[in-house]
Amino acid sequence: MEKELIQKYRELKKIIKRLGNAIVAFSGGIDSALLLKVAYDILGDKVIAVTADSPSLPGKELEETKRIANQIGAKHLVINTRETENENYLKNPNNRCYYCKSELYAKLKIVSEQLRIKNILNGTNFDDLSDYRPGLKAADESNIISPLKDAKLTKKDVRELSKQLGLEIWDKPSSPCLSSRVPYNQEITLKKLSMIEQTEIFLKDFGIRELRVRHFGDMARIEVNENDKKRINDNFISIQKKFSDIGFNEITISNFKSGNLNLMINIE
């Protein structure tokens, strides 16, 4: 492990140790998994992972959170959030994530009070500060602690440290919520979320790890890495039939890029 990463790791452990107890907002992604791992190593049973279940979370991702938390050894609680009942969220403005995270943190505050664990942690890393992330405002408003960010751990650092600590998902692709596949200002509906989830599950069964299915009404835009396009083309007839059965009449294929929809808005 490089000297700089060792120093950041030490700082992360100091930050967590000072807290004494913690609730970790656990999505099952690599950032929150590393945070949970380190927190559990230091605080033991004084840390609990809490995952928010809602229609915007793929069912497979929920099962993954249970598996990872169990491997780490941490207590794990699944709660229900209701962002998909909030009109502001359903209108899908470019700060949609603010309403989602506000709902999440409000629910975590309740858990915090019930369990008498005052510290609520999220997996925000240092790189997230340079991206458009409206959820950061919600975190600030709710006094959420971001130890990875505070220790200046970048995404690359997070993956490398996770690998060194033996987390098997150290190279897991990012998997934002299903709502992120719907272009801003186009209404979020449970039907759209279901369509996206079904098509992505179908495509992943071909061995494609990193992908997005963007919902453009009757058209689906499949975004994959260049080396996965052959898998799409080789299975296109069955993919077309499946997508048609689900409700997409047209398919386009595009290059994968995380945050593609953010490129379509102007941020002041």
| pLDDT value of residue 266 | 43
Does residue 101 sit in the same domain as residue 209? Answer: no
Last residue of a domain, one of 164, 196, 225: 164
pLDDT in tens, 183-218: 999 999 999 999 999 999 999 999 999 999 999 999
Q: Which domain does 188 fall in, by range?
A: 178-264
Give the number of domains in the chain. Answer: 2
Q: Is residue 18 part of a domain?
A: yes
Higher pLDDT, 170 or 133: 170
pLDDT in tens, 222-262: 999 999 999 999 999 999 999 999 999 999 999 997 765 55
- Tokens 């299903």 correspond to 178
Task: Supply the CATH number for residue 36's domain.
Answer: 3.40.50.620
pLDDT in tens, 31-88: 999 999 999 999 999 999 999 999 999 999 999 999 999 999 999 999 999 999 999 9
| pLDDT value of residue 257 | 78
Does residue 34 sit in the same domain as residue 130? Answer: yes
Mention every residue, 6+ apart, whose C-beta is less than 8 A from residue 67.
none
| pLDDT value of residue 130 | 85
The chain-wide mean pLDDT, for the chain, equals: 94
Does residue 18 sit in the same domain as residue 148? Answer: yes
| pLDDT value of residue 265 | 45
Does residue 158 sit in the same domain as residue 194? Answer: no
> Whole-model pTM?
0.93
Confidence label for 264 from pLDDT (cuts 50, 70 and 90): very low
Nearest alpha carbon to residue 101 among 142, 65, 73, 50: 142
Task: Supply the CATH number for residue 245's domain.
Answer: 3.30.70.2210
pLDDT in tens, 111-144: 999 999 999 999 999 999 988 889 999 999 999 9
Does residue 259 sit in the same domain as residue 133? Answer: no
Q: Is residue 169 part of a domain?
A: no
Does residue 198 sit in the same domain as residue 154? Answer: no
Around Cβ 156, how many Cβ atoms within 10 Å? 12
- CA 176 centroid distance within chain: 4
Does residue 77 sit in the same domain as residue 154? Answer: yes
Does residue 116 sit in the same domain as residue 18? Answer: yes
Q: Are 216 and 183 in contact (CB under 8 A)?
A: yes
The share of the chain scoring above pLDDT 70, in percent, equals: 96
CA atoms within 13 A on the CB side of 105: 21
Does residue 214 sit in the same domain as residue 248? Answer: yes
Q: Are 144 and 105 in contact (CB under 8 A)?
A: yes
Q: Is residue 170 part of a domain?
A: no
Is 263 a residue whose pLDDT tops 60? Answer: no
Last residue of a domain, one of 132, 164, 196: 164
Nearest alpha carbon to residue 134 among 103, 157, 107, 173: 103
